[in-house]
Amino acid sequence: MTRPANQAWGWLLGLALAGAMLAAVAATPATTATAATVARPGVKAHAKPDFASPEVATLEQAAAVQVTGQQGLWFKLALAGGKSGYVRVNDVRVAYASKQGGGIGKALFTGKAGKGRVTETASVRGIDESALKSASFDAERLQEMESYRATPEAAEEAAGKRGWQATLVPYAVEYQPRPAKPGKQGKPRASQAETRERFGIAGKLASHMGSAFGGVLSSGSKLVGKSEQEIVQEELELGPMIAGRILGAVPLLQDPAAQQRVNLVGRWLASRSSRPELPWTFGVIDDGEINAFAAPGGYILVTRGLYQLLENDAEVAAVLAHELSHVVQRDHYEVLRKQELQGAGKELVSSQVRTGGGLAGSVARGYIERNGAAIMLTQLDRNAEYRADQAAGIYLARAGTNPLAYYAVLQKMASLGTSSPRLTHLYKTHPPLDKRLDALDANGYANLQAYLDR
């Protein structure tokens, strides 16, 4: 046989072998199960994802099971004898995926909110602290994000089409705007701004008189508390500053339907909060890591990686509800406020004071100008995260959907494993997912039982 003929036969043989290997791989069943443990005594598994369907098994607490799928707020389990059954998402606890397994949850949960499945290799870039610190403010991208902002009326109409109806659900620790306090004997009370101005004037007079006390007085002006109106004004200015810098690091996902969706869902939730008057604005950014950012003043950004993990509108609402709580409770604003107070304290020591009222002269603004949006990767107090988890359930109940949607989201994130590169920054800034689920099991749904069967 000639050399060209040998080469041709070799090429054909290689092609045939490759085809056989591909066929063998295709014939091998993929691992589509996630290990889990039954979370409570006597869990009833149903034939269908419906409480009215027949019970097919009773599962003992701590029994090992395999989750093979999700349908809404139900997990499908592989049972003995090749049978299957359905339990609620909080009836079992999904195990952290092993490092070797790489997070088998990514093969199990399809992520219907986005475009296809979540994979470990799809642009896992991550917005790290360096990127957020160095990114410039992008006014054009911010304007694009704001162009998707939904009105309360449009959000209400969209909620009605989803079958969501507003429900009154109490929330004792929800932040409530403070009314202005009257002065003594009916006299007008001096505002905090006026008090700070008096400190500043006294400080300048003392400085002209050669007294070091002048610097102390001027620095003290920054330690005077701010009025509710002043704080809101700062939030309204800080929010776009931070969001614009996040967008300077990574753009919005070019998916108008996704942007409209998160704004309609988010605005409906925000209208059920104690701060509906904020200019609530939501966006999905084109980043593969699983994370979300809540800037003061109502600016909330969700990564593409997280958005694609979500199963339905209720899970989209669940993620936004957690972030919304951070805004309502002023969690990141308080981090900035601490920076401001620390800066004022240093000025008291050095007596090097720069006067000037309003946000333009505040250390908070200066901090953002120096550090960009890196404040969004600052670890909040863990109690703030646990509170936001609990608040998510309350806001979901108020919005007319099921609080368990948030539980399902946490379960899916846990199934991806502690070694998943998609969760790097989330694990750095949040308590472990199993601890968060423990907290929800302990007290997160105590007053929400009436809404768990929706």
213: its two tokens = 């006390």
Distance in angstroms (rounded) separating the CA atoms of residues 42 and 45: 9
The one-digit pLDDT tens for each residue of the chain (454 residues) are 555 555 555 555 454 544 544 444 343 344 578 999 999 999 999 999 999 999 999 999 999 999 999 999 999 999 999 999 999 999 999 998 655 444 445 555 655 554 544 444 333 345 776 777 788 999 999 999 999 999 999 999 999 999 999 999 999 999 998 776 665 555 545 455 554 444 444 444 444 445 444 443 443 444 456 789 999 999 999 999 999 999 999 999 999 999 999 999 999 999 999 999 999 999 999 999 898 999 999 999 999 999 999 999 999 999 999 999 999 999 988 888 877 666 554 544 444 433 334 443 355 677 677 666 666 666 667 889 999 999 999 999 999 999 999 999 999 988 887 656 556 556 566 688 889 999 999 987 888 999 999 9
Instruction: Return the half-sphere exposure (C-beta side, CA atoms, 13 A cut-off) of residue 21.
Output: 6
Q: What is the DSSP string of 350-393?
A: H-------SGGG-HHHHHHHHHTTGGGGSPPPHHHHHHHHHHHH
- The structural domains of the chain, ordered by start, are 34-95 (2.30.30.40), 129-177+229-334+370-451 (no CATH), 191-227+344-369 (no CATH)
347: its two tokens = 């000025």
Which is it for strands 299-303 and 281-285: parallel, antiparallel or unpaired? parallel
Which is it for strands 74-78 and 281-285: parallel, antiparallel or unpaired? unpaired
Which is it for strands 55-59 and 84-88: parallel, antiparallel or unpaired? unpaired
Distance in angstroms (rounded) separating the CA atoms of residues 229 and 241: 19
pTM more than 0.85: no
Q: Nearest Cα to 106, choosing from 437, 64, 116?
A: 116
Q: Nearest Cα to 401, choosing from 290, 330, 320, 323?
A: 320
Q: What is the DSSP string of 117-143?
A: ---TTS------HHHHHHPPP-HHHHH
